[in-house]
């Protein structure tokens, strides 16, 4: 047990390190000069340049800078933003909450909607209509559906604010936009799993006990259908992180997406690295949760 946990944690650390290193190399290879990035629109004289190089230790070899970065990161110090001239931890700390809110709300909408669709639309035309609608949700890019939702519910009907982050009302449209494609994919996977489970002999046995079709579905088949859906948790994390960047742009929401775009555009390396490591950490955590969820759902996977 302890061995398994230790192996898990070690693997997670390796993933984080690999993600940070890959991002570091990519940014090194990118065009643009760090000093330019730090100066930004400020005064540009040779004296100031020399001062910056000395202050940020930019004259040392790349490998030393890299190792120094890793050491500081391991201690929890993510460095200072070139652009904002403030500690990265602070910058991210301010912006993380709206993004987490958006991601969680979208995940809840996606999962709940998928469950409702898969369980309630089982037969005949309802099923066909639902399947078609889901396929459309999956194949529509979020920025497009976001714009459509905005123009209908904010501009025309005025039910929701157009932009910004003013509480729950402002969260609704972005979360729905991000949640819909998730619901589309998950509901198809769940429906497929339910179909297969209901064909199994144990479903016949359950019916032969006098259970209603709904009870067979909820008490027996649903649990079996959850297994393939849990496999998609990793994919879900990717969609949420990648999607948040775009959605925050479309809806003019503050959050990590805005920060990331700005940082990438201006070569603000410390911020980009921190975002990458943060995303990798989210992946590691979610995948671990998925593995635990398997054990919780399917007793056959538990070792006695």
Partner 1 sequence: MIEVQNLRVTFRLGQKSVEAVRGVSFDIREGECVALVGESGSGKSVTARSLVGLAGPQAHVEADTFTVDGRDVSRFAARDWRRLRGRYAGLILQDALVSLDPMRTVGAEITEVLRTHDIGDRRDRPRRVHDLLDAVHVPEPERRARQYPHQLSGGLRQRALIASALAGGPKLLIADEPTTALDATVQAQILTLLAERRATGETLLLISHDLAVVSKLADRVLVMKDGRIVESGDTRTILAGAGHPYTRQLIAAATGRRRENTAEPGEIVAEATALRKVYGDRTVVKDFGLTVRRGEIVGLVGESGSGKSTVAQLLFGLTDPTSGHVRFEGSEFSGIPERARRPIRRRLQLIAQDPLSAFDPRWTVRRIVGEALPKGADPEPILDRVGLGPEYLDRYPRQLSGGQRQRVAIARAIAPRPSLIICDEPVSALDVSVQAQVLDLLARIREDDGTALLFISHDLGVIRDIADRVLVMHDGRVVEQGPVRAVFDHAGHEYTRALLDAVPTLEVTS
Min dist CB 111 to partner 1, Å, is 20
Q: Which is nearer to partner 1, 67 or 295 (CB)?
A: 295
Min dist CB 213 to partner 1, Å, is 8
Taking the C-alpha atoms of residue 173 and residue 102, their distance in angstroms, rounded to an integer, is: 10
Min dist CB 227 to partner 1, Å, is 9
Q: Which is nearer to partner 1, 62 or 296 (CB)?
A: 296
Q: Which is nearer to partner 1, 264 or 290 (CB)?
A: 290
Q: Which is nearer to partner 1, 61 or 299 (CB)?
A: 299
Q: Which is nearer to partner 1, 76 or 210 (CB)?
A: 210
Min dist CB 206 to partner 1, Å, is 7
Q: Which residues bind partner 1 (CB under 8 A)?
A: 200-202, 204-213, 215, 219-220, 223-224, 297-300, 304
Within 8 A by CB and 6+ apart from 191, the residues are 117, 118, 121, 127, 131, 225
Q: Which is nearer to partner 1, 47 or 208 (CB)?
A: 208
CB atoms within 10 A of CB 142: 23
Contact indicator for 9, 281 with CB cutoff of 8 Å: no
Min dist CB 299 to partner 1, Å, is 5
Min dist CB 211 to partner 1, Å, is 6
């Amino acid at each position: 047990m302890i061995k398994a946990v230790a192996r898990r944690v070690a693997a997670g650390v390796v993933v984080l390190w690999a993600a940070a290193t890959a991002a570091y190399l990519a940014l090194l290879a990118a065009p643009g000069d760090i000093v330019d990035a730090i100066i930004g629109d400020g005064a540009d004289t040779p004296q100031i340049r020399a001062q910056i190089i000395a202050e940020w230790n930019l004259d040392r070899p790349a490998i030393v800078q890299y190792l120094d970065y890793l050491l500081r990161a391991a201690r929890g110090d993510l460095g200072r933003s070139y652009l904002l001239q403030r500690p990265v931890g602070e910058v991210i700390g301010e912006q993380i909450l709206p993004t987490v809110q958006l991601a969680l709300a979208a995940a809840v909408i996606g999962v709940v909607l998928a469950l409702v669709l898969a369980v309630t639309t089982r037969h005949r035309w309802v099923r066909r209509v639902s399947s078609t609608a889901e396929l459309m949700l999956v194949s529509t890019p979020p920025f497009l559906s976001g714009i459509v939702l905005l123009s209908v519910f904010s501009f025309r009907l005025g039910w929701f604010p157009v932009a910004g982050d003013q509480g729950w009302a402002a969260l609704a449209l972005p979360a729905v936009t991000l949640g819909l494609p998730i619901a589309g994919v998950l509901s198809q996977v769940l429906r497929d799993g339910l179909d297969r489970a209901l064909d199994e002999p144990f479903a016949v046995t359950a019916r032969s006990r006098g259970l209603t079709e709904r009870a067979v579905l909820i008490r027996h088949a649903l649990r079996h259908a959850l297994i393939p859906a849990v496999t998609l948790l990793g994919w879900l994390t990717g969609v949420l992180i990648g999607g948040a960047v775009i959605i925050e742009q479309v809806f003019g929401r503050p959050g990590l997406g805005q920060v990331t775009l700005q940082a990438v555009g201006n070569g603000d390396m410390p911020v980009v690295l921190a975002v990458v490591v943060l995303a990798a950490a989210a992946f590691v955590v979610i995948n671990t949760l998925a593995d635990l969820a398997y054990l919780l759902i399917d007793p056959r996977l538990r070792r006695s």
